[in-house]
Chain A
Amino acid sequence: MAASAPTAPARPPVRRRRPRLGAYGLLLPASIVIGVALGYPLVRQFVLSFQEFGLKQQFGAPPEWVGLQNYTDLLTDSYVWTVIARSIAFCLVNAALTMLVGVALAVLMERVARGARMTLQVALLLAWGTPVLASMTVWQWLFDTQYGVINWTLVHVFGLDQFDRHSWIVQPLSFYLVATVIVVWMSVPFVAFSVYAGLLQVPAETMEAAQLDGASPRQRFWNITMPMIRPVLTIVLLLQVIWDLKVFTQIYTLQRAGAPTRETNLLGTLIYSMSKDFGQAGALATIMLVITLALTGFYIRKMLKEDEL
């Protein structure tokens, strides 16, 4: 950045200087907000990750510097690696499913008549707008072992007696199945609406021209629509990966509903369970940040490159 504001300007470029000052001025509030709300916690977390910061420190004892101890403790613990692997798998499966269902719904919204579209949109908005804890309570009751309507339906409508008092969350795999249904259900509206907005931007003329040239609907979709909405798809996928990696509320609530805690922990809940030791929690949160960057760095670079074109 070149130095500006000369003391005795020979040829004062008043018109050029003012907007520049104004531009920095406009950047200031946003920078302060980001610095205070995101920068400070991030720095604090980073510093904590090199300290021994337990319960006693929370109540006033001075923290002790331990160097990389927290990191080596975590990275030599096979359980931490299990949880990292679980989290990545959960994140990828959920992001993929959400994208699949979301795009399908967006295409559907574009094709159906107005009334059907409105119904679909209202339904999606409600799913998106319901507070997480409120909908989690409903989901818990749906899957409840004793009184859940899902078990009831499977037993009384389909005659599957093995689901009488079947516990859905007591086995890890089945727990993740339930969690996936819930997380996908909650995330699909965002994908569907974003992609639908993208679809509306695809010029009708282009499609018409392709049609006149004899392109089949399938060809038009894969060769024209998809490339045109690709930027939207990339960004939405990126967000899904980030969100699904840090998923917390749904997993925590389901654990509290009676799932085995240790066998169902993901990164978010594992960090939370370390709350007695902020040092370790900070180290694991930093590791999680690195994983997030590793998973998404590729996309971000690609997006930035496309922007330059």
Chain B
Amino acid sequence: MKILRFAALGAVAALALAACGTDTPADNESPSAGGTPEPATIKLWLNGTDTPQELRDYLTTTFASENPGSKLVIEQQDWSGLVPRLQTALASEDQTPDVVEIGNTQAPTFTWAGAFADITDLYPALGGEKLLQGFVDAGTADGKIYAVPYYSGARAVFYNKDVFKDAGVEVPTTLAEFNDAAKKLTTDKVSGLWLPGQDWYSGASWLFTNGGDFAVQEGDQWKGALSSDASVAGLTQVQDLFTNATNAPADSDSAEPWVPFNNGEAAMFYAPTWARWSINIKECDEKVAADDQSDEATEKRTKQQACNEEHTGIFPLPGNSADEVATAFAGGSNLAVAAKSKHPELAKNLLKIIFSADFQNQLGSKGLIPGNSEYTASVGDDVYAQAAVKAALAAKLTPAAENWATVEGDRVLEDFFQQLATGQDVKTAATAADQRIADILNG
């Protein structure tokens, strides 16, 4: 048994050491100076399924034809856990994507840290002052521009017309009416509103509309604002919805809220307006395979979409009075060239394609409000576009603090909204969350 023991001891030593390794930062070499771009393969990171496949295909083919010999590879990342992933990838010259999409609320942190390349000289060519200003501000540090707006959008409410009719519920015109309608539509099997416990993006609308906020700046210090009276009023409504208007689990986030809606398990869901392309309720499902490109499949798909749009509707979340819409969370994202990209020139060429009139209009036609305001009209004027634009005009950003991305990265708000969903006292939970937010923002 002695041999066995000896060998195992060696293994113990090795494993014990291995247990203690930790991240090491990559070398801090500066990227090679760009001249005429040599043909190469560049990487673009897009997040979630927000950018439809058609637009991705357009980018790869256009890029390849405009940059002979070069190739664009698009890699899809999850929104969840994006901050730490970008942090490790962007710091490594060998692993960094060349162009990244980053949430507008996460942009300031990376901009200030020097993670992005300075693209001030490109700014006029990309659209200059026509670019959405709030997003440009989020990507600006010391007067230089590092990140530019990709698209914006706010949430709107999708609803099932048939369920509304059966329950005798009209489209609500005020937030109070909306809350009542959501509760009235809720049964054991069906949620009036699909509102998962960790979905703070949606919950923010009640917070903002009641005059509350996540944090406010006082002098040069940040202070958590969730426990202010206005915030608590909004959060109490959110808790009421969690308790009485939804069967959504407290342990779910905002990903794919259309799944329960399509299954007939929810009468309404609250999501960015491009969710329209993911709606497919049972009555309309033609069961076409996603990769089937035949004429018959295309025809069925058109029929399916028309059926879905007939049976479902959309409205911006109403505000405190009938002539207002709610102040929603301004969703959207920015684009930036990684500071450590080995092919900055090619990366800039890609940005030029993205900001071409052609691509901007395509973004609009897919329900994403394009980064260049000159092309907002491309969103169209159907009910979806109207709801999208109305909601977006009234929308508001998260606090413009340099460390805000850490609040998101540490999942402070997911934890907090989950506490509301599991019935904890609003004021107590809000006070604790305020403390954490202040610690991070001032840290």
A window 118-158: CB within 8 A of B: 145-146
Q: Determine, out of A99-107, A109-117, A275-283, the stretch whose residues face the partner at the interface.
A: A275-283
- Specify the main secondary structure of chain A where it touches its partner: helix
Q: Given the known A-B contacts A276-B406, A300-B12, are A58 and B22 also in contact in the complex, defined by CB atoms under 8 Å?
A: no
Q: Per-residue 0/1 for A54-93: is the Cβ within 8 Å of any B Cβ (1 yes, 0 no)? A: 1111111100000000000000000000000000000000
The reply to whether A45 and B91 form a contact with Cβ atoms under 8 Å apart is: no
Q: Determine, out of A14-22, A162-170, A181-189, the stretch whose residues face the partner at the interface.
A: A162-170
B373 interface hit (Cβ, 8 Å): no
Closest to B432 in A: A262
Inter-chain CA distance A296–B406, complex, in Å, is: 35
The reply to whether A170 and B91 form a contact with Cβ atoms under 8 Å apart is: no
Q: Per-residue 0/1 for B415-434: is the Cβ within 8 Å of any A Cβ (1 yes, 0 no)? A: 10011001000000000000
Interface residues on B, range: 35 or more
Q: Among the listed B1, B91, B113, B115, which residue makes an inter-chain contact with A201, where contact means beta carbons less than 8 Å apart?
A: B1
Indicate the member of B16, B110, B198 with the most A CB atoms within 10 Å: B16
Please name all residues of chain B whose beta carbon is closer than 8 Å to the beta carbon of A146 when the two chains form the complex: 249, 260
The reply to whether B109 and A55 form a contact with Cβ atoms under 8 Å apart is: yes
B88 interface hit (Cβ, 8 Å): yes
Q: Per-residue 0/1 for B398-424: is the Cβ within 8 Å of any A Cβ (1 yes, 0 no)? A: 000000001001111011001100100
Inter-chain CA distance A93–B20, complex, in Å, is: 21
Please name all residues of chain A whose beta carbon is closer than 8 Å to the beta carbon of B419 when the two chains form the complex: 260
Q: Per-residue 0/1 for B17-30: is the Cβ within 8 Å of any A Cβ (1 yes, 0 no)? A: 11111111110101
Q: Among the listed A238, A239, A260, A303, which residue makes an inter-chain contact with B415, where contact means beta carbons less than 8 Å apart?
A: A260
The reply to whether B415 and A58 form a contact with Cβ atoms under 8 Å apart is: no
The reply to whether A292 and B1 form a contact with Cβ atoms under 8 Å apart is: no
A249 interface hit (Cβ, 8 Å): no
A window 202-246: CB within 8 A of B: 228, 231-232, 235, 238-239, 242-243, 245-246
The reply to whether B5 and A42 form a contact with Cβ atoms under 8 Å apart is: no
The reply to whether B25 and A242 form a contact with Cβ atoms under 8 Å apart is: no
Q: Per-residue 0/1 for A173-200: is the Cβ within 8 Å of any B Cβ (1 yes, 0 no)? A: 0000000000000000000000001100
Inter-chain CA distance A124–B28, complex, in Å, is: 46
Inter-chain CA distance A72–B172, complex, in Å, is: 55
Interface residues on A, range: 35 or more
Inter-chain CA distance A258–B9, complex, in Å, is: 39
Q: Among the listed B80, B114, B412, which residue makes an inter-chain contact with A60, where contact means beta carbons less than 8 Å apart?
A: B114
Q: Per-residue 0/1 for B248-283: is the Cβ within 8 Å of any A Cβ (1 yes, 0 no)? A: 011111000000100000000000000000000000
Q: Considering the complex of A and B, which 5 residue pairs feature the smallest CB-CB distances, nearest first?
A: A258-B251, A145-B249, A55-B113, A59-B114, A235-B8
Q: Interface of A with B (CB < 8 Å)?
A: 34, 38, 40-42, 44-45, 48, 53-61, 145-146, 165, 167, 169-171, 197-198, 201, 228, 231-232, 235, 238-239, 242-243, 245-246, 256-263, 271-273, 275-276, 278, 281-282, 285, 288-289, 292, 296, 300, 303-304, 306-307
Contacts A262-B412, A271-B22 known; list 9 others, CB within 8 Å. A41-B21, A44-B24, A56-B114, A59-B339, A232-B4, A239-B12, A289-B19, A304-B9, A307-B6
